């Protein structure tokens, strides 16, 4: 994901924070400062948010490490203001595995809740109802006692929230996995997503009477339910389709020794936006160049820059007989919009980009509608 800062790696999984996340930290700190006019409170507010997000990372690691157990790799975990996102290389096809991977996340939060509960009990710090009332009134939010208690409560909420049986929550995946034991995956997804949508509407309705936050949660769930169903339909549209049916056999290519200006001249004459970059003898692909690098490259270094200086050297190579759906997921997780396609001999026989996959899908779906 663009604009994400890498903070570490756990068992080969990159952990990164999206820039928009810092807005939330800053906003919480400002809110505390406005309330108390106390820098220490503001700082503690920030530390508290970071502690919650550390728990979110542990939750995502719960998914990722369970997936790893089933041989599914996770490329990265990204922290967004709305929570974490574990970028699994593929979705487990076996319902049982999907269920275990989905439940592993919220189970981590339940575990943290119990640990904090026992720590508070063992140290005699567990607040009584009197304590809670007094602390709320005095605004003493950040004694060690309150810090641990609030963190415990936050983990409990995270766990409960994720057990809501609707996409994109883990509960939606658990529900789908359970349904998929009895029926095919697409029907299971459709039923799970309708249940999610119904729940979302109930949330939105209740939100207007009780707590406005429910309206936001409802909207979030409603949108997530739709997206998951569409993604699942795409998978079916691609079922049994090979990369070679969707790839472009004629594709724009340049040698790494050519300049950005050469590329731009070509772009002005054609519709091409992505390019495969070859070595000087045109024997193998050494990079992928997209509009992004071309524009920033020209702005920063000028038009006479060699393409080899700005191209992406880290790209995926797809095989012509590969399943289109798997290929699409690989392309998405590479973060680039295009990839070279090779045959058994390793020769480059085509190029695939996300636009041309989308067009292919629209064609295929409209063809199916006609029949």
Q: Would you say 344 and 241 are in contact if contact means Cβ atoms under 8 Å apart?
A: no
Total residues interacting with Zn ion, rule: CB under 5 A: 2
Which strands form 74-80's sheet, in the order they lie side by side?
4-10, 13-18, 74-80, 83-88
Show Cβ contacts of residue 87 under 8 Å, excluding neighbours closer than 6 positions: 74, 75, 76, 77, 78, 333
| Cβ closest to Zn ion, residue 221 vs residue 342 | 221
Within 102-131, the residues that bind Zn ion by CB under 5 A are: 105
Letters for 134-173 (x = contact with Zn ion by CB under 5 A, - = none) are ------------------------------------x---
Q: Residue 306, exposed/middle/buried by CB under 10 A (0-12, 13-18, 19+)?
A: middle
Q: From the CB of 221, what's the least distance to Zn ion, in Å?
A: 14
> Which listed range, 98-106, 206-214, 240-248, 345-353, lies at the site for Zn ion (CB under 5 A)?
98-106
Q: Give backbone dihedrals phi and psi of 77, rounded to 5 degrees, phi first.
A: -120, 125
297 binds Zn ion (CB under 5 A): no
Q: Does 92 bind Zn ion (CB under 5 A)?
A: no
E strands, the chain, in order = 4-10, 13-18, 74-80, 83-88, 253-255, 274-278, 285-290, 318-319, 338-342, 348-353
User: Maximum CA pair distance of the chain?
Assistant: 79
Smallest distance from the beta carbon of 106 to Zn ion, in angstroms? Answer: 6
- 8 Å CB contact between 76 and 67: no
Q: Which position's Cβ is nearest Zn ion? A: 105
List the beta bridge partners of residue 259. Answer: 306
Tell me whether residue 67 or residue 336 sits nearer to Zn ion (CB atom): 67
CB of 93 to Zn ion, least distance (A): 19
196 binds Zn ion (CB under 5 A): no
For Zn ion, give the closer residue by CB, 105 or 340.
105
CA distance 129 to 217: 29
* Residues near 228 by beta carbon (within 8 Å), at least 6 away in sequence: 167, 168, 172, 189, 192, 193
| Cα–Cα distance, 9 to 81 (Å, whole number) | 20
Smallest distance from the beta carbon of 105 to Zn ion, in angstroms?
A: 3
Query: Please, what is the minimum distance in Å from the beta carbon of residue 281 to Zn ion?
Result: 48
- Angstrom distance (rounded) from CA 222 to CA 63: 23
Determine the interface stretch with Zn ion among 45-53, 97-105, 179-187, 268-276 (rule: CB under 5 A): 97-105
Q: Which is nearer to Zn ion, 92 or 105 (CB)?
A: 105
Stretch that binds Zn ion, among 1-9, 101-109, 277-285, 350-358 (CB under 5 A): 101-109
Q: Which residue number, 29 or 77, has a Cβ lying nearer to Zn ion?
A: 77
Residue nearer to Zn ion on the CB measure, 55 or 352: 55
In DSSP terms, which residues pair with 83 in a beta bridge? Answer: 80
- In the complex with Zn ion, the residue whose CB is nearer, 105 or 297, is 105
At its nearest, how many Å lie between Zn ion and the CB of residue 56? 9
- C-beta of 58 vs 332, nearer to Zn ion: 58
**Residues in contact with Zn ion by the rule CB under 5 A:** 105, 170
């Amino acid at each position: 994901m663009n604009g994400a800062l890498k903070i570490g790696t756990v068992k080969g999984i990159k952990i990164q924070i999206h820039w928009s996340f810092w807005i939330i930290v800053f906003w919480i700190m400002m809110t505390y400062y406005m309330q108390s006019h106390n820098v220490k409170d503001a700082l503690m507010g920030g530390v508290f948010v970071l502690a919650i997000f550390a728990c979110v990372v542990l939750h995502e690691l719960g998914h990722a490490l369970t997936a790893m157990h089933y041989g599914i790799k996770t490329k990265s975990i990204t922290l967004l203001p709305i929570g974490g996102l574990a970028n699994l290389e593929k979705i487990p096809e076996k319902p049982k595995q999907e269920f275990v991977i989905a439940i592993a996340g919220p189970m981590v939060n339940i575990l943290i809740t119990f640990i904090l509960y026992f720590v508070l009990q063992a140290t005699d710090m567990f607040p009584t109802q009197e304590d809670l009332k007094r602390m709320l009134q005095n605004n003493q939010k950040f004694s060690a006692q309150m810090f641990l208690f609030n963190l415990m409560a936050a983990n409990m909420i995270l766990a409960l929230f994720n057990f809501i049986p609707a996409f994109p929550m883990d509960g939606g995946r658990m529900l789908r996995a359970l349904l998929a034991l009895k029926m095919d995956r697409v029907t299971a997804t459709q039923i799970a997503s309708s249940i999610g949508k119904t729940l979302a509407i109930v949330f939105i309705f209740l939100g207007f009477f009780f707590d406005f936050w429910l309206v936001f949660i409802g909207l979030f769930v409603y949108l997530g339910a739709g997206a998951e169903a569409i993604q699942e339909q795409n998978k079916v549209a691609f079922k049994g389709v090979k990369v070679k049916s969707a790839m472009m056999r004629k594709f724009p290519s340049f040698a790494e020794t050519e300049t950005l200006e050469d590329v731009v001249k070509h772009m002005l004459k054609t519709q091409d936006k992505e390019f495969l970059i070859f070595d000087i003898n045109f024997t193998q692909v050494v990079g992928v160049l997209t509009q992004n690098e071309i524009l920033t490259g020209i702005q920063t270094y000028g038009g006479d820059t060699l393409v080899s200086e700005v191209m992406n050297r880290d790209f995926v190579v797809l095989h012509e007989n590969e399943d289109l759906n798997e290929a699409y997921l690989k392309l998405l997780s590479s973060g680039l919009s295009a990839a070279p396609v090779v045959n058994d001999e390793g020769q480059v026989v085509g190029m695939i980009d996300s636009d041309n996959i989308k067009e292919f899908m629209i064609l295929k779906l409209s063809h199916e509608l006609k029949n």
